[in-house]
Chain A
Amino acid sequence: DAGVIQSPRHEVTEMGQEVTLRCKPISGHDYLFWYRQTMMRGLELLIYFNNNVPIDDSGMPEDRFSAKMPNASFSTLKIQPSEPRDSAVYFCASSWGLAGGTSETQYFGPGTRLLVL
């Protein structure tokens, strides 16, 4: 398996522009997580899905952020409009679910490095 795939790997955009980050989880995984990493705050959970359904989006900073998972093999994280403080590395991770309904070891994608000027 190719692992978790994220695109683009790098994105430079200007303030006010729309940014769309993409993630393809490992085939068969039913959990998908979006994380953000900054120097100041470290890694933070933004949102996660189970079987394509958003379970917890309490980490999404504000209404400018939205995430979708239209099917089991694809998810997007959109920022509209983007601001300089959104500059960070955005990681997608996926995992299997356990029988009890919680997730197993998470496998991380390579991340998307976003710079908003």
Chain B
Amino acid sequence: KNEVEQSPQNLTAQEGEFITINCSYSVGISALHWLQQHPGGGIVSLFMLSSGKKKHGRLIATINIQEKHSSLHITASHPRDSAVYICAVRSKYGGGGADGLTFGKGTHLIIQP
């Protein structure tokens, strides 16, 4: 079973700062997801990636398959970015059992005005 580790667990920053959240995993994957969980509990999928880099607005996600590592960056952070950011991976091999996600414990991000 894949082990997913995120760092840091908690992060408090000032508005405008550049934020980096890291995720590492132990076994080969077919895809990695970054999810955002709002204070109210809802979960939104931010990115799904299997190689390279993706960008959406102020959010950038990168993945290094060889190093089994991914990062989520937030530029020009804003208080509304405050949320829990969760990394999740999907196993490499297809077939039964490969589609469910294995989750990291999440990074609690607080952006102060």
Q: Which residues of A contact B (CB under 8 A)?
A: 31, 33, 35, 42-45, 48, 50, 55-56, 58-59, 89, 91, 93, 100-108, 110-111, 113
Contact = CB atoms under 8 A, between A and B. Distances in A.
13 contacts: A33-B101, A42-B103, A44-B103, A48-B100, A55-B96, A59-B100, A91-B43, A93-B43, A102-B30, A102-B98, A106-B101, A107-B45, A108-B35
Nearest to A101: B94
A85 to B, nearest CB: 19
A101 B30 CA distance: 12
Given A42-B105, A43-B86, A43-B103, A106 B45 contact: yes
Nearest to A54: B96
Nearest to A113: B41
A45 B101 contact: yes
Contacts of B48: 104-105
Interface residues of B, number: 26
A92 to B, nearest CB: 11
A110 B96 CA distance: 26
Contacts, number: 63
Nearest 5 A-B pairs (CB), nearest first? A45-B100, A56-B97, A108-B43, A43-B103, A103-B99
Interface of B: 30-31, 33, 35, 41-45, 48, 86, 88, 90, 94-106
Nearest to B6: A42
A44 B45 CA distance: 16
A33 B43 CA distance: 14
B30, B86, B97 pick with most chain A CB within 10 angstroms: B97
Given A35-B101, A103-B99, A111-B42, 6 more contacts: A48-B100, A102-B98, A103-B90, A105-B48, A108-B43, A110-B41
